[in-house]
Every structure is written in C-alpha cells, then in structure tokens.
A and B are shown apart, each in its own frame.
Chain A
Amino acid sequence: GIQVEQSPPDLILQEGANSTLRCNFSDSVNNLQWFHQNPWGQLINLFYIPSGTKQNGRLSATTVATERYSLLYISSSQTTDSGVYFCAVLIKAAGNKLTFGGGTRVLVKP
C-alpha cells in the first residue's frame, strides 16, 4: 500500500516563529488533506489540497503532485498552533480510505 512519511517528527517553536512541515507519499494520489489534532483528540480539517497552493490566514499549503510531496507552512506561530499535524492521502483506485502519516508534533512556547 501507499506509504506516507512526515517530517520532522517533533518541532519546538518560539511564539512568532515560522515553520515548514513536510509530507512525502509513495504513489499518485487523488486526495490529500492536512489536519490539526488538538490536545483533546479532535482532528480539524486544515486543507484539501491534492495539488497546487492554498492559504488560510497564517497557514498555507503546497502540494507538488508530480514529485509526491506536500508542505504545510505555519507563519507567526501562536501557542494555539500546538498539537499534532497529520497529512493523509487517498487513492480512489485503492478505495475511499485515508492513509495517514505519522504526524508532526508541534509545541509553540510563549
């Protein structure tokens, strides 16, 4: 099956810093989503981005489908950005299931 790898596994930031999270995947995909999991376990949708670039406030994401990677940018980080960030991919030919990476654990210090 498809492999999804995220890096770095852990990230410690000072409030106000910028950061880049990476997601590599091993096959062509139809769907790629980025999620933020808060300390209570809720997975919050950030982006649906199988290709191209999107921005939402201080967050933006870019997926280069031909090179099989996606990047999530966090600018001017805030303590509320802390949590685990997951990317997940879907290949329709393999069924409508999301395959998740291992996540990047982010801690933003005040």
Chain B
Amino acid sequence: DAGVTQSPTHLIKTRGQQVTLRCSPKSGHDTVSWYQQALGQGPQFIFQYYEEEERQRGNFPDRFSGHQFPNYSSELNVNALLLGDSALYLCASSLVRENTDTQYFGPGTRLTVL
C-alpha cells in the first residue's frame, strides 16, 4: 500500500523564480491538501483539491496556485518567490467518503529561497 509521495525532496531557488512541487496521494485517496511549515512552527494550510478543483484555500496570496490531475496527484506552484517562502511544504491525502477526514502526510519538500 503506497503512502503519500512528494518530489523533489529538496529544492534551492532564487528570489523571483517560480517553483513546482509534486504530490501523489496514498493509494485509494481522492483529496490532496497542501501545507507550509516554517522553521519552528506548526504547518499552515495552503489549499485543498478534490475532483480536480480547489475546494478550500487558506490565507495565502495568489502567487500560490495548484492543480489536481485525473489520477488524483497534485502540483503546488509558487510564482515570484520571496525569501519568506523558504519552508517545508507538506502534502496530505484523505478520502472524502471516509467520515473521519483522517489526513496522511508525505515526507515533504524542503524549499530554500536565496
């Protein structure tokens, strides 16, 4: 039973560049959520995708966008990178039919913006 996978593991970019992060959900799951975790803090919700549409969005600017594909995998795109975007980006998957809404997290992508 494959868990949540993310790529790449690490990424270094410079200010102003654009980045794409990828996530494959746990087998059988249909919902993908993205979180940003700054150093020393708890994860913060960015947005959630279900049926290829953004279902909910947290308090993040439009520079953060996403996409979900028919196979339920997802991408997170960040444009015009700022130094403050340096963080661990976590993807979580869940199954909307499951009443518990239990979310399972991937290993994360550590983004450094120079």
State whether these chains interact: yes
Residues of A with Cβ closer than 8 Å to B? 4, 30-31, 33, 35, 40-43, 45, 48, 86, 88, 90, 92, 95-103
Q: How near does chain A come to B95, taking the closest CB pair, in angstroms?
A: 11
Which one of B44, B88, B100, B104 lies within 8 Å of A31 (CB-CB)?
A: B100
Q: A96 contacts which chain B residues (CB < 8 A)?
A: 31, 33, 48, 55-56, 94, 96, 101
| Residues of chain B within 8 A of A102, CB atoms compared | 41-42
Counting chain B CB atoms within 10 Å of each CB, the highest count among A35, A41, A95 belongs to A41
Chain B interface size range: 20 to 34
If A43-B105, A48-B100 touch, does A101 touch B42 (CB 8 Å cutoff)? yes
User: Are the C-beta atoms of A45 and B102 separated by less than 8 Å?
Assistant: yes
Provide the B14-57 mask, 1 if CB < 8 A to any CB of A, else 0.
Answer: 00000000000000000101010100011111001000000110
Q: Which residues of A contact B42 (CB under 8 A)?
A: 4, 86, 88, 100-103
Q: Are B110 and A41 in contact (CB under 8 A)?
A: yes
Min CB gap B103→A, angstroms: 6
Instruction: Note all chain A residues with C-beta closer than 8 A to B101.
Output: 30-31, 90, 92, 96
